[in-house]
Chain A
Amino acid sequence: MASQQSKRNTVRLKLPVQPGDLEGLEIGTVVYLDGVIYTGREGVYKKVLEQGADLPEGLVEMSNVNFHCSPAAAVEPDGRYSVGGVTATASFRFSKWMALWLKKSAAKIIIGKGGMSVEDYRDILVPAGAIYLTTVGYGTGALLGRGIKSVKAVHWLEELGNAQAMWIFEVENFGPFLVESDLEGNSLFEQQGKLINANLEQLYKGLQAPALSRYGETDDRKDELI
């Protein structure tokens, strides 16, 4: 029931996070952020990691939170930015860039949609001392938009477009997010998925297989597609 939400553990984190801030944060905890975050997805990763562009000056000192998202934002004729909201995009697609990105940017929090695989947590995020926060819903664009206090800078806007540019935001009470992967690499999605998988056999019982099969896909419904 809806009333149960009040029971969820909730924390506010000041950014950039310091060593020790993330210790003891359990999966399923509700998190709000205060400080500076930046957006970065395939456009930025390609730019920096494949084409060798330098990180914006001061980024590493200013923020260690990388949000996989793009804002609904417009540039006004006087050069100001109006930001309506932000909504995450699915993180699993960025797996191949994350190890190098975490090294280069020293990011300690990745925010996105849908999490990453437990192997990615184990091999990439955990060694880098990083956790993963998932957005809720996933369409809480308006709530997150409320938490954005200002646009500190936008990088590669002309070249990459609004959606792929790196936006640096000053945020306050920015959330909610859920801890999906902690410092040990425990995953909320994995934990929940296991519980759900237990019911699947029963669900499909008696439903005959279709006449025509398809190549290259898993038949095991306990598998994930990411």
Chain B
Amino acid sequence: MIDYQTIETAARQIMANAAIDIPPDYRQGIEDMAKWEEGDLSCFVLQTMMDNWNAASEDRRPMCADTGLPRYYVKVGNNARLTDGFTGLERALRSATALATHDVPLRPNRVHPLWRTDHNNNVGINSPEIDWSFEPDVDWIDITTVHKGGLFGSDYRMLFPGDGIDGIKRFFLDTLVAFGKRGLACQPAIVGIGLGGSKDITMVLGKQAACLRVVGDRNPDPKIAELELELKKMGNSIGMGAMGFVGNAMVADCHIEVGYTHTGGMPMSVHTFCLSSRRATVRIHADGTAEYRHDPEWFTPYMRRETVEWPVSKASETRSV
């Protein structure tokens, strides 16, 4: 059984980890880009960001004072048992958010959209958001927190099958060019693309692709993996770098996630994470031990399953194809 206090303590810890320590995969991605970036202003920015990550880790202070919208992704093992159930888990995550806001400290960013009421703890109506997923045959829970800004760098468009790969490329470029100017998107970033599903799910998939997959990770579908690399290359050939200065470092990596969609449509979303790509994960085992890591491992084969049955049996494959 996993109890309330264990969840709250672990969630407080990942809130701090995410805010302070840049994930190693992203740091490596930016270090590699700094080696080939030729724009001197853009390069100055990358170097300064690396100095900033070092300062954050040394001083144990947040790398970026804009907390973004701190929120959670929870993967629940099918055999996991929680002493206070799922509402208990939700309460623990709200409490951890409020405590971490004071302790780290994080900027209290969350306000009522109309009345601008600020509880000074990043908790309010519908916030922090919690996305849920499930994993068969295991008894742990994974909790990931992501602190991502949200004013610029994301967009949605309804494309159609006839728009084809051209349409995807064009909208991808449109988003990077539009929000890359003046560096509003805080690039170079991991760019996530959602394709398919319903409109809302398109947005969710793109956001998860940007925030919950690490630099270097490829979609298991080889053709999608190829498109990821092609778009990454394209993004890095705009001629724009960090802060919208002349350069080439725009896309640290590109991740695409798909969902089956309406037969007449091809909805698409683009999300750019940022130069302070803040994410951290903890796995809480059934005995209450907590393991901390940087890779959310969110998109499992189970999540990307195509069939009714899991694991896929020969019979179910035939039936669903």
Contact = CB atoms under 8 A, between A and B. Distances in A.
Question: Is the pairing of A and B real?
Answer: yes
Interface in A128-178: 134, 136-146, 161-164, 176, 178
A141 B246 CA distance: 24
A210 B66 CA distance: 35
A210 B167 contact: yes
Contacts of A86: 65
A141 B64 contact: yes
B169 A207 contact: yes
A195 B109 CA distance: 36
B64 A28 contact: no
A138 B169 contact: no
A192 interface: yes
A70 B62 CA distance: 13
Interface residues of B, number: 74
A206 B237 CA distance: 16
A4 B47 CA distance: 10
Contact of B49 (A7, A139, A178, A225): A139
A114 B162 CA distance: 37
Given A2-B34, A89-B66, A225-B181, A143 B52 contact: yes
A61 interface: no
A74 interface: yes
Interface string B225-248: 000000000000111101111100
Interface stretch (B35-43, B134-142, B290-298, B306-314): B35-43
A138 B109 CA distance: 17
A179 B298 CA distance: 42
A44 interface: no
A1 B35 contact: yes
Contacts, number: 224
B154 interface: no
A137 B12 CA distance: 27
A1 B43 contact: yes
B262 interface: no
B18 to A, nearest CB: 13
Interface string A179-205: 000000000110011011011100110
Nearest to A198: B239
B287 interface: no
B273 to A, nearest CB: 11
Contact of A72 (B44, B47, B67, B173): B67
Interface string B149-178: 001100001111011001101110110011
Contacts of B34: 1-2
A17 interface: no
Q: Which of A5, A90, A145, A192 has the most chain B CB atoms closer than 10 A to its own CB?
A: A192
A39 B219 CA distance: 44
B72 interface: no
B218 interface: no
A147 B102 CA distance: 21
Contact of A143 (B51, B184, B244): B51
13 contacts: A72-B104, A87-B64, A90-B184, A115-B182, A137-B242, A138-B186, A139-B52, A139-B275, A141-B64, A142-B59, A145-B65, A200-B238, A210-B170
- Pairs of residues from A and B, 3 with the lowest C-beta to C-beta distance, nearest first: A161-B118, A139-B64, A74-B105
Interface of A: 1-2, 4-5, 7-8, 28, 30, 43, 69-74, 82-87, 89-90, 113-115, 134, 136-146, 161-164, 176, 178, 188-189, 192-193, 195-196, 198-200, 203-204, 206-212, 214, 221, 224-226
Given A145-B55, A204-B170, 10 more contacts: A1-B35, A85-B56, A87-B65, A139-B275, A140-B52, A192-B41, A192-B244, A196-B181, A208-B166, A209-B170
